[in-house]
Amino acid sequence: MSPAPRILILSFSPIANDARVLKQVRHFVGGYDVTTCGYGEAPEGVSRHIRIPDSQPQNNFFAPTLALRMFGATYWRTGAVAWCREQLRTGEWDVVLANDVETVPLALELRSKHGVHADLHEYTSKLRTENPKWMRWLAPYYRWLCRRYVSRANSWTTVGQGLAREYEKDFGFLPGVVTNAAPYWNLEPAPPRVLLRLVHSGAGLRNRKLDIMLDAVELAASEFSLDLYLTANDPPYIEELKARAAELEHVRINDPVPYDELIPTLNGYDVGVFVLPPVNFSYRWALPNKIFDFIQARLAVVVGPSPEMAAIVTDNKLGLVARDFTAQSLADALDSLTGESVAAFKSAAMKTASELNADSQVAIWEKAIVDLLESRPPG
């Protein structure tokens, strides 16, 4: 009996809490000898976890080399990269699954027997187009990483069609698309309440302008409750939101819940809400986890006119798309909801949950890895 292929899943993130990378781990531990390398505790089921020390960040760029555009020197001396370069053994794995742009040069240097698959969670070189300083100093660095290294990976995936097209236009390779679809949950939609319960979950980042949702609830002619479950990415902003919520009836800012508890928690609500102003390129083309979480939680969905999110909502009749990204437009969309329409949207989510879930998406990663194993024999 031949040994299971050895795969390294490499991510500069706390893998046990990274929803996308965790889906990779949970899928591949079923038939592969999986090693993970990232921050935090070991994900369940892996053969080995190489834990990057918290003292070795992946973004402590050396300013002099960055300013001189000595990008190679900048990359290889960042904490996580330098530490991993010392710890990871060249030639030990059959395939490396490298998550995000920053891991790809390191993955290529490991010389896995069958190559590297790059899963690109963001369009990194345009991640902060609203920030001139970031675009001046870091965008050229990330473009260099893409041209010099990411283009040399053996295959690629990303999270949406908009990002895939941009990678092809700017760097000449076309990734496949693996959406951030959530694992399937066997849940029933809860009957809509008389006072419709709105919910949002995600990162507490100022540039997401989460206060739009609070303002919309205040502007709406109808009465709603709104709960936000937010990670503390920007603690001062979270405190501002809590102070604002305290002025509004039926609005609460909650701590995040563990990912394994998130969808059952959301299932107790009626409408998942997310309006994301396109302040940068990534936000314009965002297709985040939470849309798929709302679907698995059997919620109606209300979003702003972000192209990828709007297409999911309208194509599957899951809810409503606001006219624009303002609080007033969101309030108008919320006011048009009725108990009957929310029940119909929840019913559509019930159907869509069996079609848009992680099982269909992780199969794309599986095919990419199998193709590498079959196309490049060891030796």
The pLDDT of residue 376 is 59
Q: Which amino acid is at 176?
A: G
pTM: 0.88
Residues 342 and 198: beta-carbon distance below 8 Å? no
Place of tokens 């001189």: 68
C-alpha 29: how far from chain center: 21
Bridge partners of 96, per DSSP, are: 8, 116
Comparing CA positions, the residue from 135, 131, 129, 103 lying closest to residue 117 is 103
DSSP 8-state symbol, 2:
P
The pLDDT of residue 378 is 45
The pLDDT of residue 377 is 55
What pLDDT digit, counting tens, does each position of 283-301 carry? 999 999 999 999 999 999 9
CATH code given to domain 197-353: 3.40.50.2000
At 343, give phi and psi (nearest 5°). -60, -40
CB under 8 Å to 45, separation ≥6 — which residues? Answer: 25, 26, 29, 34
At 321, give phi and psi (nearest 5°). -115, 120
Q: Three-class SS of residue 362?
A: helix
Q: Where are the domains of the chain?
A: 6-180+358-375, 197-353
Instruction: List the chain residues with pLDDT less than 50.
Output: 378-379
The pLDDT of residue 19 is 86
CA distance 139 to 154: 24
CATH architecture, range 6-180+358-375: 3-Layer(aba) Sandwich (3.40)
What pLDDT digit, counting tens, does each position of 231-285 carry? 999 999 999 999 999 999 999 999 999 888 999 999 999 999 999 999 999 999 9
Comparing CA positions, the residue from 50, 44, 42, 40 lying closest to residue 10 is 50
